[in-house]
Structure 1
């Protein structure tokens, strides 16, 4: 009896290798504890991880800053004409010593290719252009392409802002109200929207030009007539999906008014698709303005837009190809950046893209 108690009370000491974890080789992952964050913080985190979207955002910011400050970065204005400076190739101080952007260009003539530099004279005489620099060159009227390119970019960014405002003010409100009330109200509102959508935008702009003068006001009115149709459809579809949810029924039971439910209860829950669709509408609006300007229905001269610059430079493309490159490159980067950013925002708002 005493021996049993002595054995039971005996101090037992365990060593590190006395036990072995069974199945340790099958343990693939270990749970981690993540810091709690809000929905919008989660969206922003996923957006930051998208390198393409971040590069696109930086490109848009850089182009916006150049559009704001680029017009005043030299002594030239967008509408000044110096006939003696016409058709000058790009010339950049400092870089010209490297043999590039030194004002020389290769022209195709009947006798073959000839390299010409109008800043300097072949016979050693002074041309008066030795100390003149045009970073993007000049056009056929001697206007600075650098200044006019960034002035045209201002027009494109203005159209982008107008497109966003039209989507939010007209398209969003129209679609939410139509989907919420439904029935005859929804049927009448959607039939009206379909009638407007069936009219080609070019016809609308042409009719507006008959009444109004060509310019930004005409383009703005054309966007106001048909530019909100896409947002209307998205907002209506989201409303039809959410208006029968329990939280809407609870608000209605507590006596909430219709417009309070629309804009305070339902709208915050559909901001993801709304923001995504708005971002995708911006490049479409920019392209529409550029197309109208290219065919002569945009802003009148001497005001410049990217579309009108491309149209003017296209006439001299075979002899002076440098004229068309700056507006084409800026327009391409601007539209591509907005599309990539919109795609990144869509992925950030999509719960299926969340890393598990």
Structure 2
């Protein structure tokens, strides 16, 4: 078999550029996104979390401007306006929130409207008066008192976050990082404190202080940080043996530098989520204490106080309890939805578990 060498000649038409328009493809460089940008993007894709955030913002706005919308104060009493059903301008023409209510008596159900007299020759003086959420047994505006009570719930939420982030987080970081005798002493102390019921702590505080907002704040400050400290300690135990911590120690970094500059940034997302979940628990604790009579002193009212007062008239005037309960439910649901969205945003792999 003979091997022959043939000269290959390439013509201009043998090769063509890739692409219908005969344009060469060029690599595109995309700008890198920051860690917080990714978190915000994942958070905004969660419809439940966005709904929770919107609910919280609406509650905050109403807590700020709500008490001043009607021109009435939360302590203003008018016996002639007591037990008035909700009446809203505009909606009364549609037959809803027109001030009428159905009373259940021993003789049966009777529908009445205290704004309008049954006798056409008489006037009640309430024909042009509107109470959007109605009034209580002392003639106080429930709308104004509800949003004043919401301020207290939001204050409790703020206290819970501050206590968690300023004390519980630091407590857990120090306990988990140093370990040994330090960890044993700190954990035994927190377990003893956690074993005392909150109701007992509040009762003991009442012996020293008067029942009120200060007592509830101290009760939350004394025990509300324990859950956060345990989460922070568990996260530190997972990270303190990692290579980057060993490298920092080798380079001569001090303990508190490692705790707050190396470990804390890596677990800060989980701590934020934990603090968000602690807010509904703190709000419920305040509402429960107020419901059993250990809340703020009258005439100031929280949502728990309003629910407690309205519960006594629930069978005759159910509207008194409906609105405070709805606002409290929206607050707790919104914080839970937002906390759940933050958890998925900071750790998207949690959805797969």
Give the TM-score normalised by the residue count of structure 1. Answer: 0.90
1:188 paired to 2:185:
yes
Of 27, 31, 37, the residue aligned with 1:41 is 37
Root-mean-square deviation over aligned CA pairs:
2.2
Of 302, 309, 312, the residue aligned with 2:309 is 312
1:111 paired to 2:111:
no
Partner of 1:276: 273
Distance 2:124 2:110 in 1: 19
Count of matched residue positions in the alignment of Structure 1 and Structure 2: 338
**How far 1:245 moved relative to its partner?**
1.7
Where do 4+ consecutive residues of structure 1 move more than 4 Å? Answer: 4-15, 32-35
1:225 paired to 2:222:
yes
Deviations 1:76-125 (A, max 9, x none): 11010000000000011111111111111111112211111000111111
Of 284, 287, 307, the residue aligned with 2:284 is 287
Partner of 2:24: none
Distance 1:302 1:11 in 2: 95
Distance 2:284 2:13 in 1: 82
Instruction: State whether residues 208 and 218 of structure 1, in contact with CA within 8 Å, keep that contact through their aligned partners in structure 2.
Output: yes
Partner of 1:265: 262
* Mapping 1:1-356, distance limit 5 Å: 35-124=31-120, 125-352=122-349
Instruction: State whether residues 89 and 105 of structure 1, in contact with CA within 8 Å, keep that contact through their aligned partners in structure 2.
Output: yes
Distance 2:7 2:239 in 1: 74
Distance 1:350 1:304 in 2: 39
Consecutive unaligned residues in structure 2, runs of 5 or more: 17-27
**How far 1:249 moved relative to its partner?**
2.0
Instruction: State whether residues 46 and 354 of structure 1, in contact with CA within 8 Å, keep that contact through their aligned partners in structure 2.
Output: no
Give the TM-score normalised by the residue count of structure 2. Answer: 0.91
Partner of 1:27: none
Deviations 1:164-183 (A, max 9, x none): 00001110010001111110
For the residue of structure 2 that corresponds to 1:324, the secondary structure is helix
For the residue of structure 1 that corresponds to 2:132, the secondary structure is coil
Distance 2:286 2:205 in 1: 14
Distance 1:6 1:183 in 2: 82
CA, structure 1 residues 255+121, in 2 after alignment: closer, same or farther (shift >3 Å)? same
Distance 1:248 1:73 in 2: 56
**How far 1:248 moved relative to its partner?**
1.8
Partner of 1:18: none
**How far 1:8 moved relative to its partner?**
5.0
